[in-house]
Structure 1
Amino acid sequence: MLAPVEIESRRMTKEGKSKLKLTALGIRVHKCSICLSQFRAGDIMAMMPKCSHLGHQRCVVNWLIKDARCMVCREPL
């Protein structure tokens, strides 16, 4: 399942930095399970169908070309 990553809320820290809460399909998202970089607003998130683990769309597609199992739990697709 694919969904865009959206900004749920934004706040300023004491240091004056902007802190975002990001969601996709109503789920809080943080880091891609494959490349480990943080999701950004506008990224396309891919969710594995059986186990619901998350990754960037491009990372998941590249992973599935090499291995037809989940990148986290190894659940067969």
Structure 2
Amino acid sequence: MNTTWRTEQLRRLNQTMKAIEILAEHPDLTLIYQGKAWVYRDLLELSVRIFRLAQQEGYDVQAFELWFAKDAELFAHYGLEWRVG
């Protein structure tokens, strides 16, 4: 994967994340965005994808790491395993 591709992916993922961020406050909702039904687990999965791409691009991801570590139990509840590092 080249840097341009990862940067474009980050941009698109961030756009999607902003569009569905209401799920962070209302995890029981299902949203329709760009013809897809989005649920809270999707928001968490997008967060992980953004983190990994941002980390590869050399961005400061410390805030993500703190959030993920704090909410590891929540991630597990939605079937997502997360390990910082």
Q: TM > 0.5 between the two?
A: no
**Greater share of helix residues, 1 or 2?**
2
Q: Please tell me whether Structure 1 or Structure 2 has the larger radius of gyration of its CA atoms.
A: 1
TM-score range, shorter chain: under 0.3
**Greater share of strand residues, 1 or 2?**
1
Report which structure shows greater RCO (CA 8 Å, sep ≥6).
1
